[in-house]
Amino acid sequence: MPAPSAPERRARHDAASSSPAARRVVDLSHRIRAGLVTYPGLPAPRIEPHLTRAESRSHYAPGTEFAMDVITMIGNTGTYLDSPWHRYADGPDLAGLDLATLVDLPAVVVHVTDAAERGVPASALPDLDLRGAAVLVHTGWDERFGTPEYGSGSPFLTTGAVERLVERGAALVGIDALNVDDTESGGERPAHSRLLAAGIHVVEHLTGLGELPETGARFTAAPPAVEDFGTFPVRAFAILG
């Protein structure tokens, strides 16, 4: 059999590079279940059947059955995204978000698991152009998710870090911790206020960021298009390769 020509070799390489086996998808979302406490003091989700499989048998042909369920939950459940409407009445709600700012974003991952202070400073951010990027802050706090320890002492973004993110044009900012703000400093929320005013989406309670390199991954976190609603869970994930 003759050796493949250069065009044939390139075609095979391109096909292999675009195949699902050539890439890895990293799930960055916490699972939602009934009774899950995401943020202390907020209600846990309830999951109940609307139509059980047994009940559905009387509605469909023999051998055909379905389950239909109802979930009742606050938008701040699991891994979720904050739209500007969450903070500002005149900001875009979930339905008003541009999908181009939520899907297939270049990811810049900031690994600060060995930080001595809770507040992530501007100096921890890479000296990069962040225009259109999803900046994901990896603190390691997600290991406590679902436990009482998760709710106190959580890392957050300092004012300096937030200003640098705004100045450098980040499209989205995510963190694997309780909040981008220091929730133990009173009722002010300077990180939310500044980021959302600039149209920068916020994703909180991420997980698995330790699997991502500093650059090179592509990030997606798209909520459903719900009108007059500011916050909702997302299936956040990154693609490598």
**Separation CA 158–CA 119 (nearest Å):** 5
Residue 194 parent element (H or E): helix 190-197
What's the confidence (pLDDT) of residue 22?
Answer: 80
What's the confidence (pLDDT) of residue 20?
Answer: 58
**Separation CA 189–CA 223 (nearest Å):** 22
SS percent in the chain: helix, strand, coil, step 5 = 25, 20, 55
Residue 56 burial (CB < 10 Å; 0-12/13-18/19+)? middle
**Separation CA 12–CA 1 (nearest Å):** 17
- Determine if the pTM surpasses 0.85: yes
Residues of the chain with confidence (pLDDT) below 50: 1-3, 6-13, 15-18
What's the confidence (pLDDT) of residue 15?
Answer: 47
The DSSP line for 48-98 is EEEE-HHHHTTTS-TT----EEEEE--SS-SSEEE-GGGT-TTS--GGGS-
* Radius of gyration for the chain, computed over Cα atoms and rounded to the nearest angstrom: 21
CB atoms near residue 225 (< 10 Å): 13
**Separation CA 143–CA 36 (nearest Å):** 15
Tens of pLDDT along 84-120? 999 999 999 999 999 999 999 999 999 999 999 999 9
Beta strands in the chain (DSSP E): 24-27, 46-51, 68-72, 80-82, 105-111, 119-120, 134-138, 156-157, 172-175, 201-204, 218-220, 231-233, 237-240
Question: 221 — phi, psi (to 5°)?
Answer: -155, 90
